[in-house]
Structure 1
Amino acid sequence: MARDPYDVIGVARTANAEDIKKAFRKKAKALHPDANPKDAKAQDRFAELNNAYELLSDEAKRKSFDRGEIDAEGKQRFTGFEGFGGRPGGTRGGAPGGDTIFETFSFGQEGFRRSGNRKAGGAPSSDDFFDILSGMTGRAGGSFRGGDPFGAGGEPQSGGEDVTLTVRVPFLDAARGATQRVVLPSGEAVDIKIPSGTRDGHRMRLRGKGKPGSLGRPTGDAYVVIAVEPHPAFRAEGKDVRLELPIALDEAILGGKVRAPTLDGEVELTLPAMTASGKSFRLRGKGLASADGPGDLYVTMRIVLPEPSADLEGFARVLKERRKTDPRQGL
């Protein structure tokens, strides 16, 4: 069950729209997945915060929630029965308002409750009461003219169910942004927009695309969870991206210009002479898109040895004879 949106954002029910916006922005900055890259539940908490703000920032929805007409997910609440005869405040047997036994009926935690006026002359008899109950539940040959709100198990019918779909998205599509077609359980195909910078585990809500409710109750929602497929070269760390770039031995020793791929095309890097394997270069703004600015791309060098040869072996022997330091010293 979704938490109270006021509690999620951290404001009182009397807070005005500006207070809610300020509290939301402050919390969004603290809960953003980019600020919590090692927290597996950061995406869920951020999604919960967004859903809460979506409800409270809509004046009509907020008023409906405050009146108890919708729940924290924006779904219609079951509020009981308005009356008999197919209209609110209906009367029993078509009698005028003065002959109403009960104007409205509802079921709550206290069980059967009534409100409205009684017949002139006092409380209804036990026969009247059981006649009402039999008419509501369809027992003793009775029927509920407004439609039976109970299923075969005797429980109130609820709104439609939410469904969750996992969609696999290629790394570069998630990084650059793309459109992907999703087939819902109903068989309907919809195109969803994958925003640039989408992270693994990102949740998207499709309103009214879940399973339909019974007796006209609201349809549930569909939640699409993005599973970003791994890339052979790029690896995301929050909003930053890492790339391991192979370089030749001569490039590492002599230095020079090498081409390196990025998320949006190739760039040219200048390697200094004697670049060691494991040396990283930072390309600012070449990472994933983010609400607080793009991340960076870290390119790490990996020296690839050439094919074995007599010349290479001779070169290595000369290096060994002239080496004056131990590369493992201090370990």
Structure 2
Amino acid sequence: MEDPYEILGVKRDASTEEIRSAYRKLAKLHHPDLNPGKKEAEDRFKAVSAAYDLLSDPEKRGRFDRGEIDASGQERPPERQFYRDFGEGPGGQKYRAGAHFDQEDLSSIFEQAFRQRGGPGAGGHRSFNMRGADAHYGLSVSFLDAASGAKRRLTLPDGQMLDVNIPAGLQSGQVLRLAGKGMPGYGDGEAGDALIEITVEPHAFFERDGNNVRLILPVTLKEAVLGAKVEVPTVKGPVHLTIPPNSTSGTKLRLKGRGIRGADQYVELKVALPTEEEIELETFLKNWEPKHPFDPRKHMRGR
């Protein structure tokens, strides 16, 4: 089985963040949704997910590094312990590689192994129960879905679908835990959980500031000078905003309660000039003399 460090392309002393970053990159590259019908990509995605499941868990990673479990998370035979227990035979003879054990010898060894892992005492039926491993996934959601909440469907490596409720206000890096949706347990052990790390996609014009939302709104010269009522997008749908007369670029207006979780949206005005030639405007400005002249760059002089 391939080494999980090699699967993710990281060194054995890689930090948790380096492992997470490598997983995100590979998961996006090989995700079945982005590679429909490609069995090789699906298999690689499964391998990447399994490697991340092992290396992202400090306890599992430590046990793997110590050789206690293999790359699939399965227990390795505790050879060193058996060597100590059966190291000397009759007459002080040492254990030799390739020594023969008959069926009774093997049964005795495995019985002892289960007793040491917390199984019942000698005699009777023995069962090995263990909780299933947590499964780690990544899910990208839009800015608006993260802001207002939504339900999204996640395609698992085995092709199954998992419905995920996105609570309003979720941020990139947050992890959703779905109890019992991870790997199946062993014996009577319960299933593990599904841990879904959220990545919020950037928006074309919304920016998040805590739970507040910020937006730069282009306005015409006429709207800025004379004032106007214009439509403004918000995470909860468009609203009308009154622009005061004589507004300038940088003027900030507040839309109360139009942010995330009842916070506000702040609108910063940006005066936009027409891209086409406006002869009348040019003629007016050439002949116009303001009654209250001012220097907008006065504060910059002498700096």
- Shared topology, TM-score over 0.5? yes
1:327 corresponds to which of 275, 293, 296: 296
For 1:98-247, list aligned pairs within 5 A: 139-141=101-103, 142-144=105-107, 160-212=132-184, 218-247=190-219
How far the C-alpha of 1:239 sits from its partner, in A, is 0.7
For 1:35-74, list aligned pairs within 5 A: none
What's the secondary structure of 2:266's corresponding residue? Answer: strand
How far the C-alpha of 1:269 sits from its partner, in A, is 1.3
Q: TM-score, normalised by structure 2?
A: 0.55
What's the secondary structure of 1:230's corresponding residue? Answer: coil
Q: Which amino acid aligns with 1:204?
A: L
Change (3 A) 1:267 1:147: farther
Alpha-carbon separation, structure 1, partners of 2:242 and 2:156: 49
Alpha-carbon separation, structure 2, partners of 1:205 and 1:179: 15
Could you list the per-position Cα deviations for residues 222-280 of structure 1 after superposition, in whole angstroms to 9, with x for gaps in the alignment? 21111111111211111110111111110000012111111112222111111101111
Alpha-carbon separation, structure 1, partners of 2:211 and 2:218: 23
Could you list the per-position Cα deviations for residues 191-215 of structure 1 after superposition, in whole angstroms to 9, with x for gaps in the alignment? 1111112222221012233334556
1:284 corresponds to which of 256, 261, 269: 256
Could you list the per-position Cα deviations for residues 169-195 of structure 1 after superposition, in whole angstroms to 9, with x for gaps in the alignment? 111111111110012234321111111
Change (3 A) 1:284 1:148: farther
- Partners of 1:184 and 1:209 within 8 A in 2: no
Could you list the per-position Cα deviations for residues 44-80 of structure 1 after superposition, in whole angstroms to 9, with x for gaps in the alignment? xxxxxxxxxxxxxxxxxxxxxxxxxxxxx9xxxxxxx
Q: Which amino acid aligns with 1:209?
A: K
Alpha-carbon separation, structure 2, partners of 1:198 and 1:273: 37
Change (3 A) 1:139 1:158: farther
Alpha-carbon separation, structure 2, partners of 1:140 and 1:213: 32
Could you list the per-position Cα deviations for residues 60-107 of structure 1 after superposition, in whole angstroms to 9, with x for gaps in the alignment? xxxxxxxxxxxxx9xxxxxxxxxxxxxxxxxxxxxxxxxxxxxxxxxx
- Partners of 1:183 and 1:190 within 8 A in 2: yes
1:312 corresponds to which of 258, 281, 288: 281
Does residue 297 in structure 1 map to residue 275 in structure 2?
no
How far the C-alpha of 1:167 sits from its partner, in A, is 0.8
Does residue 257 in structure 1 map to residue 225 in structure 2?
no
Change (3 A) 1:240 1:222: same
Q: Which amino acid aligns with 1:168?
A: S
Alpha-carbon separation, structure 2, partners of 1:190 and 1:321: 65
Change (3 A) 1:223 1:300: same
What's the secondary structure of 1:265's corresponding residue? Answer: coil
Change (3 A) 1:165 1:316: farther
How far the C-alpha of 1:161 sits from its partner, in A, is 3.5
1:271 corresponding residue in structure 2: 243
Alpha-carbon separation, structure 2, partners of 1:148 and 1:157: 16
Length, aligned pairs only: 205
Change (3 A) 1:168 1:297: same
Change (3 A) 1:255 1:219: same
What 5-or-longer segments of structure 1 have no aligned partner?
1-40, 42-72, 74-107, 113-125, 128-137, 151-155
How far the C-alpha of 1:318 sits from its partner, in A, is 3.4
Residue identity (%)? 39
- Partners of 2:130 and 2:188 within 8 A in 1: no
How far the C-alpha of 1:148 sits from its partner, in A, is 8.5
Alpha-carbon separation, structure 1, partners of 2:222 and 2:179: 58
What's the secondary structure of 2:233's corresponding residue? Answer: strand
- Partners of 2:129 and 2:188 within 8 A in 1: no
- Partners of 1:149 and 1:215 within 8 A in 2: no
Q: Which amino acid aligns with 2:107?
A: F
- Partners of 1:149 and 1:157 within 8 A in 2: no
